[in-house]
A = this chain, B = another copy of it.
Amino acid sequence: MIFLGGGASLEFCMIPYNFLIKKAAYLNTGVWAKKAMKEAKLFGEVVEVASSADANYTFIPKGWTVPADVDYLHITTNNTIYGTEIRKDLDVNVPLIADMSSDIFSRPIDVKKYDAIYAGAQKNLAMAGVTIVIVKDEKLGKAPREIPTMLDYRTHVDKGSMFNTPPVVPIYSALETLRWIKKNGGVEAMDKLAQQRAEIVYGEIDRNKMFKGTAVAEDRSLMNICFVMADEYKELEKDFLDFAVSKGMVGVKGHRSVGGFRASCYNAQTIEGCNALVACMKEFEAQH
């Protein structure tokens, strides 16, 4: 595991810089996946194995196949804007690389299944300013190009993340968060909590006739719970937003490309927080 500065978006180009020899496959599940694909195209051929763009990314595409001759398949495990998530470690016939920026440490993962995992830290791990990358060392150094020193994962592996002065305070905050996760039962406990939170909030979304979820049920993210007003209550969107804010809800406005609301339920979110949102939805329902 190495620690980098620069943000997960820098990995969008570092991954192909280091791993793309000729052709790479990408699963297009949202804006982050698209950005990653865009950068990969500078380095070789990119195959989009499947996309749910036509349905505004409301589901994770299924039933796709990966060409056997690609150097890797890239997936984005959680899609913050659309509220979808790949919560199982996929079995694929090619090396697997995953952007886990927004759901790493929310469940156990089978690290062996991935040639590379990267994650910006600012959801479940640390303050913004550090990215973690887990990489199979033996897969590095195969790409047919000269890589600038700072963009070569080998530099950071060889120097123990200290080729340059690392972002010390963000890394320290990661250490403290990892201690907190461990003390609270590890990723298994984080997973259980995530499921409890999701049951509370999705439960209310499904019960309350004024609201509806945006993602298909089987692909619902446990990290970002996205919902909108039901069609017959559409004109009340702003009213509910104001009401929620007045009840102390912070950051519940959905991304502009989806609209509605987003309840972000990262590891730090409490059951009490979820119950408060549900109480707020019930009270709004009673008023109308």
Contact = CB atoms under 8 A, between A and B. Distances in A.
Contacts of A165: 7, 120, 122, 128
Nearest to A155: B9
Given A10-B164, A42-B148, A128-B166, 6 more contacts: A120-B164, A127-B167, A127-B168, A128-B165, A128-B168, A129-B166
B9 A6 contact: no
Nearest to A8: B164
A149 B38 contact: yes
Contacts of A38: 149
A18 to B, nearest CB: 12
Interface of A: 4-10, 12-13, 17, 35, 38-39, 42, 120, 122, 127-130, 146, 148-151, 163-170
Given A13-B151, A148-B42, A149-B38, A169 B127 contact: yes
Contact of A42 (B8, B128, B146): B146
Contact of A9 (B13, B127, B149): B149
Given A5-B5, A7-B164, A39 B149 contact: yes
A148 B13 contact: yes
A146 B17 CA distance: 13
A101 B129 CA distance: 18
Nearest to A39: B148
Give the top 4 A-B pairs by smallest Cβ distance, nearest first.
A129-B167, A6-B6, A13-B148, A5-B5
